[in-house]
Structure 1
């Protein structure tokens, strides 16, 4: 399994952080989980934080301040985030949003809601892939 060392969750819902943390603890010990509650906070990070680049990003599509599509587009324009896999992590992505996300460079899709065990199993499957070789697969988990 190609476990990431550092996972970033960009989601305004604190409960989603708890769910992802529990699922990571169940499947993948020793993975550092970081959170930004919106894209604006990530883009406003001071330069001295720029060295903290995650190995993979989980991005909610429906967020306040900066939408998931604007966030994904902005991430793909930053050289340090260009090759970081981005998993769209949302409960309401219709086919048009999914096509848009894939066109903007999303790597994978995981739908909410789910149980912690279900998410843990999806993470195991996701991390069994060669996620370091970024390709927009459009694969749905």
Structure 2
């Protein structure tokens, strides 16, 4: 759940170059994102990117709530954020995030980061 429309556009543009199909979803706030994920008709994704800095419910609040949903305790959740604060990273990982990705400064860096993330066998790795 990416909170910024521009970020969603760039993310989708870069991820379209990979075999892995990721469907970025834009929600205006964390509360709306959580409601969508908690709907019974919503299929549990293989991988979830979650913005850390969202209005209403923060990424932290969403992460805690998402991890409690049926089917979401084991899926990889990648925090995607402008934050470069070690405290945010530590909090995210402690609360169940699988990876903490500070938004890269360029499209090339985003490409490299997504390439790395998509190359992982998430059943075998728990990276931080």
Please say whether Structure 1 and Structure 2 have the same fold, judged by a TM-score greater than 0.5.
yes
Equivalent pair of 1:58/1:86 in contact (CA under 8 Å)? yes
What SS does structure 1 have at the residue aligned with 2:57?
Answer: coil
What's the offset of the Cα at 1:134? 6.3
* In 1: Cα distance, 2:89 partner to 2:45 partner: 23
Identify if the C-alpha distance between structure 1 residues 95 and 78 changes in structure 2 by more than 3 Å, giving closer, same or farther: same
Equivalence for 2:23: 33
* In 1: Cα distance, 2:118 partner to 2:20 partner: 14
* Between structures 1 and 2, the one with greater strand share: 1
* In 2: Cα distance, 1:23 partner to 1:86 partner: 19
* In 2: Cα distance, 1:106 partner to 1:29 partner: 24
The answer on 1:109 being equivalent to 2:100 is yes
- Larger RCO (alpha carbons 8 Å, 6+ apart): 1
Equivalent pair of 1:22/1:116 in contact (CA under 8 Å)? no
CA RMSD of superposed structures (Å): 1.9
Within 5 A, what are the aligned runs for 1:52-67?
52-67=43-58
* In 2: Cα distance, 1:105 partner to 1:93 partner: 18
What's the offset of the Cα at 1:113? 3.5
| TM-score normalised by length of structure 2 | 0.86
Unpaired runs of 5+ in structure 2? none
| TM-score normalised by length of structure 1 | 0.79
Identify if the C-alpha distance between structure 1 residues 62 and 130 changes in structure 2 by more than 3 Å, giving closer, same or farther: same
